[in-house]
Structure 1
């Protein structure tokens, strides 16, 4: 009786540990290739946020989402990895394991991102990127 209880307990522990704790979602349209900043969304406080093209003569931001979860973001080097939480939320992780979440959407070949938490915008804000492969 004791041995069957121990065997059952060991089996339960094994099964519990073998379950994946990673709740990330996969988005093949996001990974692979390089995204280049193309537009900014900003609002001066009047509620009429507008997308404006970035100045191509200034330094252009690029971001690459690696399939393994690594991140290469030119202007936000503190973020080292990312997780796709769901179909509209990305989490960017720093070396100290702190997290910044962004709302995201890929539509008509453009990646739109806007910070959600803990840092967010009081007025509308965001960035659009185009894939450069």
Structure 2
């Protein structure tokens, strides 16, 4: 597989990730509101929920400062930081790696840095935050 083919595969994975990210962000806003980690740590939000109805999300499990959201065939791991919802390089790498074992961490890093340079992503204290355009136009 050549470099251009890998770039195309990673871009396709990114688009798929962003579609799911947008669904997760809307779910969080509609069901949890703000101060998600405070609510989770206070017991207001359950640490784990499965068999969720009326959404494409099948369930979720909180961990540390993040949460795994389960879809029928995919899982995305998001992170909460201050008032932001984003993801780590490692999260996107794992998402992409499930479908294509040839993708490397270095290629994911380069891809995400390129997205930041194009202002399609923001990088804020260890998490990537999709810009309005990269998430809302999907």
Q: Specify if TM > 0.5.
A: no
Instruction: Flag the structure with larger Rg.
Output: 1
TM-score normalised by structure 1 residue count: 0.32
More helix by share: 2
TM-score normalised by structure 2 residue count: 0.31
| Larger RCO, structures 1/2 (Cα 8 Å, 6+ apart) | 1
More strand by share: 1
